[in-house]
Structure 1
C-alpha cells in the first residue's frame, strides 16, 4: 500500500508536538512539576541537568513515546485496512476525507469554537486522575515510566487529531512514525519545564495551543484535498 505521508507530514507532526507542549504544560504540567520537586527533595545538591535528575523525566517521556507509537501503529494499520476496503467498495479517498474532517473538527474544538470538552476525563477526581496521583505519590524514578504510559492514554484533542493523521498514513509504520514525531516534538519543552518549573505563562501556553490547532487544521485540509483527489473530485 502506498504511504500517504511524507517527510513534510513528519515535520508538521514534529512542529505540532513543539507547539502542543504549552498545552501539555497546562494540562499536566502541575503533576510533572510535583514529580520534579519530589525527586529534587532527595537530590538538592545536584545541578538541574545532572543524570540523576534527568533520568526520571526521560523514563516518563519514554513511557509516553511507547504508548503513542503503539497506538499510532494500531490506528495506522486500521487505516490501511479501511483504505483497502474503501478502494474495493469504489469509495477511494474516504478514509482520508474522514481523517481530514476529524482533524478540522478537533482543531476547531481546541480553539474553543465548538462546544466540546475534549479532555473531560482528566479531572483530579476521575479514575485516571486518581490513578495518576497514586503513581506520583510513590516518588521512585521507576514509577515515572508507568506515569508516562498513563499520560499517553489521557484524553487530549491534539493527540486525537494526530491519531487521525496516523490513520490516514496508510500503514502501521506510517502511523508509528507520525506519532513518534509528534511526541518527540513535545519532549524538549516539557523536559525544560520539569527542570525549570513555571517558565511558561498561561498566556504563552494559550498562544501555542492556538498555533497547534491551526496547524492541525492545515494538515486536515491537506488530507481533505488528497481524499478528494483520490475520489476523482479534483
Structure 2
C-alpha cells in the first residue's frame, strides 16, 4: 500500500496550495540566482520530509503495537474508514474539533517559530521553515498518518509519510514559480476533486483489510501481512 502514499501526497498538494501555499510563496529564497533558489526550495522540502518521516515512525510504532495485539485486519479497515471520515467532515468543523487542541501551546510555538524564520534569509532558516511547516495541523496529513498506522511497522510508517511528502513536492515547488497563476477559482476547482480521490484511497485500505482474495488489491487474510518471526515446531 506504499504506492497510496505518493498518490495521497499528490492529491494533498492540491489542498496544500491553498493552505501551505502562502508559506511557500513567502519563503525568503534568493530570487536573483536560480541555482541557489532551487537549492533553497529543496532544503525547504527536506525539512518537511524529515517532519513527516518522524511522525510516520511514531504512528508506525502505534500500528506495530496493534499488529502484535492481533488487530491486523481491523487496523487496515479502521484506517480506511477514518480517512474517508476525515475528508467527509467540512474543514471548518474539523478545525473546531481537530487533534491539535490538546497540544495547542506546541502548535502556537511552531507558528511563532515560522514567523521568526521568515525574517531570516539563510539556508538554515529555510530548512527550519520546512521542518516546522511539516508539524502544522492538517486534515490530509492526519489522513496520511492513519495510512502510516496501517503499515504496522515503524520504518514502513516513516517511509509511508516520506513518500506522502514526496508526492506533495511537485505542486508545492510550482507554487513558488507560478504563484500568479493560482487564482482562487482554480484552487476551488482543484479542491473539489480531493474528497473523491481520498475516499478511493480509503476504500483501498478497507478492501485490503477485508481479505477478499483479490490479488494485489485485497489478498487472502493469511497473506495480508508478512510474519516477522516464523513459527517452528
Distance 1:221 1:54 in 2: 37
TM-score, normalization: structure 1?
Answer: 0.78
Gaps of 5+ in 1: none
Distance 1:197 1:115 in 2: 28
Question: What do the CA deviations read for 1:58-96 (whole angstroms, capped 9, x no partner)?
Answer: 1110000111112112211220221221x1xxx552222
Distance 2:155 2:189 in 1: 32
Give the 3 Å change call, closer, same or farther, for CA 15–135 of structure 1 in structure 2: same
> Number of matched residues?
207
Q: How many angstroms does 1:153 deviate by?
A: 0.5
Contact kept, 8 Å, 2:30 with 2:36, in 1: the verdict is no
Which residue is equivalent to 1:29? 21
Distance 1:223 1:114 in 2: 26
Matched, 1:39 2:23: no
TM-score, normalization: structure 2?
Answer: 0.78
Matched, 1:225 2:207: yes
Matched, 1:16 2:45: no
Q: How many angstroms does 1:114 deviate by?
A: 8.2
Which residue is equivalent to 1:104? 84
Distance 1:96 1:130 in 2: 36
Which one of 188, 191, 205 corresponds to residue 187 of structure 2? Answer: 205
Which residue is equivalent to 2:40? 56
Matched, 1:169 2:161: no
Contact kept, 8 Å, 2:14 with 2:194, in 1: the verdict is no
Please give the root-mean-square deviation of Cα atoms over the aligned residues, in Å: 2.6
Distance 1:176 1:19 in 2: 19
Distance 1:203 1:63 in 2: 30
Q: How many angstroms does 1:119 deviate by?
A: 9.0
Contact kept, 8 Å, 2:60 with 2:154, in 1: the verdict is yes
Give the 3 Å change call, closer, same or farther, for CA 34–113 of structure 1 in structure 2: closer
Give the 3 Å change call, closer, same or farther, for CA 103–69 of structure 1 in structure 2: same
Give the 3 Å change call, closer, same or farther, for CA 104–75 of structure 1 in structure 2: same
Which residue is equivalent to 2:177? 195
Distance 1:113 1:143 in 2: 30
Contact kept, 8 Å, 2:46 with 2:127, in 1: the verdict is yes
Matched, 1:136 2:103: no
Distance 2:189 2:142 in 1: 20
Which one of 112, 116, 132 corresponds to residue 94 of structure 2? Answer: 116
